[in-house]
Amino acid sequence: MSRVNSNIPGCLARGAQWSLALIAVVLVTWAFARVIAREADRLIGRENSIELVVMHWSGGGGQQEDQIVQDALDRFQEEHPDIRIRRINSGDSGQYFTKLQTMMAAGEAPDVFYMDYARLGPYVKAGQLAQMDELLGNSIDQFYPSTIEAFRHDGTSMGQGPIWGVPKDFTTVGFYYNKDLLERAGVEEPSPGWTWNDFIESARAVGRLPGCTGAEFVTWPWILRGYLWSEGTDLADGDWSRLRITDEQVIGPLERLRSWRHDEDGTLARPQPGIDPASMFLTGRLGFAGPFGRWIVPTYREIPAPGTPGGFEWDFARLPRGSEQANVLATVAWSMSSGTEHPEESMELVRWLTSEPMQMELAELGLAIPSRINAAEGDAFIDPDVPPYRDREFLDTVATARVADWPDDIKFPDEFGKYMNMSLQAGGSLEQATAGFEDWWSARRESPLRDQHPPIRWGLVLLVMIACLVLGFLCLLLLARKTRPGRSERSEERWGYLLSSPWLIGFSLFMLFPVLLSLVLALSNWNGIGTLDTAGFVGLGNFAHILFHDETFWTSLKVTVYYVILAVPIGQVCALMGAVLLSSRLPGMGFFRAAWYLPSVLAGVGVSILWLWVFRQDGLLNTLLEPMLGLVGASPPDWFNKDAATWGVPAFALMSLWMVGASMMIYLAGLRGIPTSLYEAASIDRAGPIRQFFRITIPMLGPVMLFNGIMSIIGSFQVFTQAFIMTGGEPRDLTRFYVLNIYNQAFDYYEMGYASALAWILLVMVLLLTMLVMKGSSKFVYYEGLR
């Protein structure tokens, strides 16, 4: 009986092992079977029917817009039973273009997809879009002309050449206003002819109310263009040959806007990083919000009715006039891939999705204005029973509205916005901002990358890579023949290579090959939209531009190095101190170790949003600091706004302490490996705890400290998620870390070759720094096995 009982734990252990193995086999088999079945079904389905891939985003319409698109596609399939549609909804528009770019680079572009007018140029130049002139034909007169002109492009400028998309909707912009606050402030509602003077006087009146702010005025690049148009001026001449940004006609309106925000209290809201400006209107303490278009209406229609908690009455007013009436227009179209296998069916689907019934259905959602004139002028859009009640304010300005065109350089609007926000958002000198933008544009036009370059000869590149692999194999073979191991050793080696071959093959295909390919791309101007055969050879042009023409590179490098200098020592000291405290053998210590380690495995996005609220000007941290700093006459910093130059990077360094749990666990393991006899001998010699720590603990932890330090340095150079979520690199690039800059170049500006060059510079910097640390550590790190 005792023997039977003694075998029970072993049987249970073996049963558990076999059960886990069986579960693993079942899961892996199911995963492969599911993918194979899906692909087989898709291939078989291709033979029996036509499959079209449709890609879109939901944006402000959320689930309602998603359902409207799905219903429209379902009805299309009912009328075309030989066509199957696979729909992809990327969620928000920001991630949409990243996914679209990736699919196009892989040669798997969707057949029909959304296209933003502001992103049109790179896709036209990459040859990814099909011309839509034939589809529109005689029906072109049924659309607002300005929406059609937005999708004309000749490869260099907007408004000329073929049509590359059929506009599905559009919007003009203006200000949403809180009618209740205007009534409390004794201000009349805006009239159709109201001016900028009327606007600012109304905002000042609301700003004088207790706890209220006059207006939120966004300064997005295309909105600033509309603002300048209303004053009868613009950034440059019509052909962009000369910038006029330093002219008095431009400086005057911009300086007036800057003074409204920074020279007056309560008139214009101060920016809050990570906070959607449109959401501030929902608090009921903001008089005006804008200039915004229709995209925000579905959100604002969720505002409770007047008289209920949090409720108030609101409406919309067109953009105020200055020296003339003007407005700016934004629009989105359905476009078609130039590489679609089913052009006729895709064109028929675009015709269906942009039909008048479909536009009227979307108009009821309130998200945008239908691009078809009849649909926009009908009851589906103009509904006086639901807010905003003044729908005609959107339509009456269409005649004076323009689409903001830009030079043939996708970086221009972003850089313009960045420099303007140095003054308009952060309160800096407008003269310095405009002069800095002019200098950037001059350097940009002198860049060696603006010239035409020959295509990369991929056949030659492949031959060189094969030759290198063969040469490397021959070197290994000669080395193996020189060592000439015995028969048994050769047998062990063969089995070792055989067993490790899955990893070696995976490493070669998914690590080594992409690394080598990125080296080739670093010498190219590949845009990441087309396939690799569209890449041109620029040689060392990318590196020359980075080192001599790219101010953002040096700024991002300074930000990252500053972060490394702060975060690495502070993080390692905290991790070590935490390990020392948690190494005590006290009851419940396991719980505290788990609690310390848990934050390091939490999702980075959620943690970043949490810390964004902590570091707000009125957030938790400043609330705690304010009474303490008030004793010495100081105030807490505005971490990510006006004080970002001093406190932006230190804020990220403080946030990194949240993630020291992994390093702490490694230090804890190292502490457990130190022989207790050393401490006993030191106690006999009357050495106190502090002396034992510096004379025994620190030297014995030398290898662990070196490992943690190197890993921390490498990790600190790769900060991305926090900056991407919390600040986006703003303001003024003061939080634009190096890896975030790589992402911006690759996926925002479509310069994948340039981003590859940046990545290789980072690799070299980290490698050299690691080698320097390794070299310098030889005199200070104690390795017990080598002494």
The residue among 465 and 43 whose pLDDT is bigger is 465
Number of C-beta neighbours around residue 738 at 10 A: 25
- 754 vs 11, 122, 449, 543, 730, CA distance in Å? 60, 15, 10, 8, 21
**Residue pLDDT, tens place only, 620-649:** 899 999 999 888 888 899 888 888 889 999
Mean pLDDT of 18-25: 81
What per-residue confidence (pLDDT) applies to 6? 54
Q: Quickly state the pLDDT bin for 41 (edges 50, 70, 90).
A: low
* Single pTM value for the model: 0.85
Q: Quickly state the pLDDT bin for 733 (edges 50, 70, 90).
A: confident
What per-residue confidence (pLDDT) applies to 762? 96
Q: Is the pLDDT of residue 503 over 80?
A: yes
Q: Is the pLDDT of residue 387 over 60?
A: yes
Q: Quickly state the pLDDT bin for 74 (edges 50, 70, 90).
A: very high
State residue 170 phi and psi, 5-degree precision. Answer: -160, 180
Coil vs helix vs strand at 325: coil
Q: Quickly state the pLDDT bin for 349 (edges 50, 70, 90).
A: very high
Least confident of 51-65, 123-137, 454-468, 721-735: 51-65
Mean pLDDT of 23-51: 73
Mean pLDDT of 595-606: 79
Here the tokens at position 452 are 């035409």
Q: Is the pLDDT of residue 66 over 60?
A: yes
Q: For residues 607 and 598, what is the distance between their CA atoms, to the nearest angstrom?
A: 12
Mean pLDDT of 68-78: 90
Mean pLDDT of 303-308: 91
Q: Is the pLDDT of residue 493 over 80?
A: no
CATH class of 173-318+409-428: alpha beta
Least confident of 507-521, 591-605, 610-624: 591-605
- What percent of the chain has pLDDT above 70? 94
Evaluate whether 60 touches 299 at the Cβ level (below 8 Å). Answer: yes
What per-residue confidence (pLDDT) applies to 5? 53
Here the tokens at position 292 are 């915004």
Number of C-beta neighbours around residue 121 at 10 A: 23
Amino acid of residue 36: I
Q: Is the pLDDT of residue 38 over 90?
A: no
Contacts of 488 (CB under 8 A, 6+ apart): none
Contacts of 212 (CB under 8 A, 6+ apart): 181, 206, 266, 285, 286, 287
Evaluate whether 560 touches 738 at the Cβ level (below 8 Å). Answer: yes
Determine the length of the chain: 787
CATH 3.40.190.10 matches 49-170+331-388: yes
The residue among 607 and 174 whose pLDDT is bigger is 174
Here the tokens at position 377 are 């002028």
Angle at 449 between CA 447 and CA 452, to 5 degrees: 125
Mean pLDDT of 318-330: 96
**Residue pLDDT, tens place only, 351-378:** 999 999 888 888 888 889 999 999 999 8
CB burial of residue 454 (10 Å; 0-12, 13-18, 19+):
exposed
The residue among 598 and 677 whose pLDDT is bigger is 677
Taking the CA atoms of 38, 44, 49 and 54 in sequence, report the sign of the dihedral they define.
Answer: positive
Least confident of 128-132, 600-604, 741-745, 769-773: 600-604
Coil vs helix vs strand at 290: strand
* DSSP per-residue letters across 463-482: HHHHHHHHHHHHHHHHHHHH
What per-residue confidence (pLDDT) applies to 42? 60
What per-residue confidence (pLDDT) applies to 402? 94
Long-range own/partner contacts, residues 187-195 (CB < 8 A, 24 or more apart):
189/315, 189/317, 190/317, 190/318, 190/320, 192/318, 192/393, 192/396, 193/321, 194/317, 194/320, 194/321, 195/320, 195/321, 195/322
Taking phi first (over 0 means left), then psi (-120 to 50 degrees means alpha), and beta for anything else, what does residue 486 get?
A: beta
Strand order in the sheet with 213-217: 213-217, 286-292, 174-178, 314-318
Evaluate whether 290 touches 175 at the Cβ level (below 8 Å). Answer: yes
What per-residue confidence (pLDDT) applies to 449? 80
State residue 292 phi and psi, 5-degree precision. Answer: -120, 160
Q: Is the pLDDT of residue 10 over 70?
A: no
Mean pLDDT of 302-318: 93
Q: Is the pLDDT of residue 122 over 60?
A: yes
Q: Quickly state the pLDDT bin for 513 (edges 50, 70, 90).
A: confident
Number of C-beta neighbours around residue 557 at 10 A: 19
Least confident of 164-178, 180-194, 198-212, 629-643: 629-643
Mean pLDDT, the chain, whole residue set: 88
Q: Is the pLDDT of residue 45 over 70?
A: no
What per-residue confidence (pLDDT) applies to 784? 62
Q: For residues 119 and 108, what is the distance between their CA atoms, to the nearest angstrom?
A: 19
CA dihedral 474, 475, 478, 480 (to 10 degrees): -110
Evaluate whether 434 touches 245 at the Cβ level (below 8 Å). Answer: yes
Mean pLDDT of 604-618: 86
Evaluate whether 446 touches 544 at the Cβ level (below 8 Å). Answer: no
Coil vs helix vs strand at 210: coil
Q: Which helix (H) or strand (E) holds 286?
A: strand 286-292
Q: For residues 21 and 18, what is the distance between their CA atoms, to the nearest angstrom?
A: 5
Coil vs helix vs strand at 729: coil
Q: Is the pLDDT of residue 1 over 50?
A: no
Here the tokens at position 519 are 């080296």
- 312 vs 283, 289, 596, CA distance in Å? 10, 14, 45
What per-residue confidence (pLDDT) applies to 641? 82
- Compute and round to an integer the Cα radius of gyration of the chain: 31
Number of C-beta neighbours around residue 238 at 10 A: 8
Select from 1.10.3720.10, 3.40.50.300, 3.40.920.10, 3.40.50.1000 the CATH code of 545-601+648-778.
Answer: 1.10.3720.10
What per-residue confidence (pLDDT) applies to 465? 83
Q: Is the pLDDT of residue 484 over 70?
A: no
